[in-house]
Amino acid sequence: MKNRIREIALDGTIRQNPTFRLVLGTCPTLAVTTTAFNSLGMGLAVTFVLICSNVIISLLRNVIPDRVRIPCFIVIIATFVTIVRMFMEAYIPDLYESLGVFLSLIVVNCIILGRAESYASHNPVGYSALDGLFMGLGFTVSITVMGIIRELLGSASLFGLKLWDANAFSIPFFTNAAGAFLTYGLLIAIFNVCYNAVDRKIKHNQHGKMLQSVETQTTAKEAE
């Protein structure tokens, strides 16, 4: 069980990172990452919806007929998105206005529907909740990193705090759509280069260990 939780955590945050590995949810990734605060807000909203929808879908996985599963998933997801919208409008109006239409568009976010379809509808509640949590975390961290980079370079601030005079140094390009694409592309490249390097090293180590154990076994057999 511990291993499974570890696998879910690694899948959600690194191996199947929705932003940098699966390239899902690109619309909010490009649109709302002008500031780190917006990115964090969007990430947390998506995480909440992911966890809640995964839990409910997992609970109802044996009840929902296969032929109406997608409409059911959408209704459930839309419900949680609406709840998030209502909550944000009531308690975090600034963030609500900043995210604008992209908050409502969480309904059609591929990550949420993808996880509902591929994971929550086939797995127990606990694991589905964890999958939602770690997928959401992976998404949140990814877009927050992107938001931090764009806000720093484009507006000379971080989470709304002015770090230096923007007129002295700032690259407004990064606050534009083209800057979002460039940042996103570079981060995907960096993430995958690092991931592949680590993955190769792990596999190399595993292969070495395997060879060593085979050699040990062979030596032991020969000694016998």
Partner 1 sequence: MAQEVKDVAAETAETTASNEKAMKRGTVLQALKAIAVLVVICLVCGALLALCNDIFYISPEERARREEAKINAALKEVYPELSNPETVTINKQYAANAMYGSVKKVVRSEDGVYIIAAEGIGGYGGSITVLVVIGSDAKIINWKISDVGGETYANDVSKHQGEWYIGEQISTDIALIKHGGATMTSTALNNAIKMASYYAMNVLNLGSNPQKDAEDAIAALLADTDYADYTFAVNSDLKYRAALSDENNAMSYFFVGSKEGASETLDAYVYNVETEAKVVILKGNLGYTARHEQDAVIAKSEDIADELVTKVQDLNYYEFKIHGYLEDFRLAQYIAITDGWDTDDARINSVCVGEDGAYVVNATGKGGFASGTVTVNVVIKDGVIADLNVESHESQSYLSDHILNIWDTFKMLFVSNGIDTKFDTTPPVDEGSTPGHTGATYSENAIIRAVNYACEYVKSLTEQGGTN
Dihedral (C-alpha) 6, 41, 104, 184: value to the nearest 10 degrees? -70
Q: Decide if residue 168 touches partner 1 (CB under 8 A).
A: no
Name residues contacting partner 1, limited to 17-56 (CB under 8 A): none
Q: Which residue has the tokens 């057999």?
A: 221
Q: Nearer Cβ to partner 1, position 163 or 177? A: 177
Q: How many of the chain's residues bind partner 1 (CB under 8 A)?
A: 26
Q: Decide if residue 86 touches partner 1 (CB under 8 A).
A: yes
Q: Decide if residue 178 touches partner 1 (CB under 8 A).
A: no
Residue from 75, 34, 29 nearest 53 by CA? 75
Q: Which stretch binds partner 1 (CB under 8 A): 4-12, 23-31, 74-82, 204-212?
A: 74-82
Q: Decide if residue 2 touches partner 1 (CB under 8 A).
A: no
**How is 84-138 classified by DSSP, letter by letter?**
HHHHHHHH-HHHHHHHTHHHHGGGG-HHHHHHIIIIITTS-HHHHHHHHHHHHHH
Q: Which of 10, 31, 64, 158 binds partner 1 (CB under 8 A)?
A: 64
83 φ, ψ (degrees, to nearest 5): -60, -45
Q: How far apart are CA 92 and CA 37, in angstroms?
A: 12
Q: Nearer Cβ to partner 1, position 57 or 137? A: 57
Q: Which residue has the tokens 């309904």?
A: 107
Provide, rounded to whole angstroms, the least separation between the CB of residue 9 and partner 1. Answer: 30
Q: Which stretch binds partner 1 (CB under 8 A): 115-123, 143-151, 168-176, 197-205?
A: 168-176
Handedness of CA 160, 166, 170, 174 (dihedral sign): positive
Q: Decide if residue 78 touches partner 1 (CB under 8 A).
A: yes
Provide, rounded to whole angstroms, the least separation between the CB of residue 198 and partner 1. Answer: 37
Residue from 30, 35, 43 nearest 147 by CA? 35
Residues in contact with partner 1 by the rule CB under 8 A: 60, 63-65, 67-68, 71-72, 75-76, 78-79, 82-83, 86-87, 89-91, 93, 166-167, 172, 175-177
